[in-house]
Structure 1
Amino acid sequence: MTNPETSRVLPPGVPSSVPVLRRTLAYGFAFAAAIAVVGGVIGLLVAGPTAAWSAVIGAAMAGVFLGITALSILVAVRYDIVAFFGIVLGAWLLKFVAFIVAALALRDQPWINPTALFLSLIAGVIASLVVDVMVVMKTRMPYVSDLSR
């Protein structure tokens, strides 16, 4: 099947959504790294090294959560529809549990600045949403499914 976005032929069995998800991962991780750098510098200037490290941790958390979703879909597209939904829902459940555990573990740590952590995590979530929207808007995908019988 030809991928209209890159005008290359995809190998047999590779869905046309794979290049889109790979671009989402690449741009998402790039934005998470940029948020870590910018948040770390702002945190350092405003509240010291504790805030800087907190901002980096928040951006890393956002990057990990973005990666879990995209990677689960990249893995799941290779299986039937039941396994696909099981893998994706399992990944979302993993993200939810991981977020709750991380929030509870980091809540009262003396080496965490909660404001810097929260703001960089929110910036990362917003950036990942923007990346998702921009990648999907600029991607030319067929209206019909890749599946064949």
Structure 2
Amino acid sequence: MTPEEAVYRQAIRLTIVVLAAIAVVGAAIAWVVVGPAGAVAALVGAVVAAIGAIPTQVSMLVGHRKPPHVMAGIVAFSWLGKMAVIIVALLVLGQVESFHRASFAATAMTGIVASLVVDVLTLRKARIPYVEPGP
């Protein structure tokens, strides 16, 4: 396993753990404050945050050994695909009357910000060389 793969795998694992914790805490708080509809909305918000974060990390793991133009294509299509899924989900959820938007938004935004923090902290601690040493 290369140092890059280790960093990407660590970021994916940590993101999953953090988003699962946010889902549990967000759903519990929403259940107490709003009721079952808020808890469901909070869980959906955590899923949307996961859809926003994890595909990019997986595409980096898959594409980091590929030529730059192939890696760029993998990351770009991953981004495009997850944005399409998120937009469709938001359009569908906007039509649901009993959907608690505040619980959804709070959990989704918390999850997205937390995943960005995980990415930054993981890459900041990574010890990946910029150049390969010569013979």
Partner of 1:3: none
Count the aligned residue pairs: 134
Partner of 2:73: 86
What does 1:56-71 correspond to in 2, within 5 Å?
A: 56-71=43-58
Indicate whether 1:42 and 2:16 are aligned.
no
What letter is aligned with 1:72?
S
Q: Partners in 2 of 1:64 and 1:81 — Cα distance?
A: 24
Identity over the aligned pairs, expressed in percent? 35
CA contact (8 A) 2:42 2:103 kept: yes
TM-score normalized with structure 2 length = 0.92
Residue 63 to residue 145, structure 1, CA distance change in 2 (3 Å): farther
Partner of 1:4: none
Superposed displacement of residue 67, structure 1: 1.1
Partner of 1:97: 84
Partner of 1:17: 4
2:95 corresponds to which of 78, 94, 108? 108
Structure with higher helix content: 2
1:142 alignment partner, SS class:
coil
What's the RMSD between the two structures over aligned residues? 1.7
Indicate whether 1:28 and 2:28 are aligned.
no
Q: Partners in 2 of 1:138 and 1:82 — Cα distance?
A: 27
List alignment gaps of at least 5 residues for structure 1: 1-9
Superposed displacement of residue 98, structure 1: 1.4
Indicate whether 1:134 and 2:121 are aligned.
yes
Q: Partners in 2 of 1:20 and 1:88 — Cα distance?
A: 17
CA contact (8 A) 2:3 2:127 kept: no
Q: Which stretch of structure 1 is more off in the superposition, 66-75 or 41-50?
A: 66-75
Q: RCO higher in 1 or 2 (8 Å CA, sep ≥ 6)?
A: 2
TM-score normalized with structure 1 length = 0.84
Superposed displacement of residue 112, structure 1: 1.6
Residue 42 to residue 145, structure 1, CA distance change in 2 (3 Å): farther
Superposed displacement of residue 18, structure 1: 0.9
